[in-house]
Amino acid sequence: MSLPDELELNIISFVPEFHLGLVCKTWKKEIDTIRKTAVNAIGKWYRPRRISENWNNVQEFVRYMVVHYSHEYFRDYPEFTVKKLGLNEELLSIIPPIEKRKRSDVQKWMLNMPISLNDWDYVGI
């Protein structure tokens, strides 16, 4: 096209998509090409988060929990763990209160606890 790219994209942004074919078939082809390129680029790095239930170490177990456990229960998981294993409740002082807790806080807490994989299995999902 004879227009500069910036101007062309600016004009295209004002034209409703269903009118592009009427305005200019070349623009429609270019936009379709751009979309296909973008979809291919995103498709190369995107992978669905499928994590097996068969974990071999604590890190894999924690990762499974982060991905598959619902937020409302995951947020309370440290208290549940301490209670079920009969641990010292001071272990909960290093994590933010439940209301302000994020998944990443619970994940870090779980990874830093000296709890074996067998104990995590005992606590359960």
Per-residue pLDDT of the chain (125 residues; tens, 9 = 90+): 455 666 666 666 766 666 666 667 777 787 778 777 777 776 677 666 666 677 788 888 888 888 888 888 888 889 998 899 888 888 888 898 888 888 889 999 989 888 888 888 888 87
For residue 66, what are the domain limits? 58-123
Report pLDDT for 8.
65
Is 52 inside a domain boundary? no
- Shared domain for 79 and 116, answered yes or no, is yes
Got the DSSP string for the chain? --S-HHHHHHHHHHS-GGGHHHH-HHHHHHHHHHHHHHHHHHHHH-------S--SSHHHHHHHHHHHS-HHHHHTHHHHHHHHHT--GGGGGGS--GGG--HHHHHHHHHHS---HHHHHHH--
- Shared domain for 41 and 65, answered yes or no, is no
Report pLDDT for 12.
66
- Shared domain for 41 and 66, answered yes or no, is no
Is 118 inside a domain boundary? yes
Number of domains making up the chain: 2
Report pLDDT for 1.
45
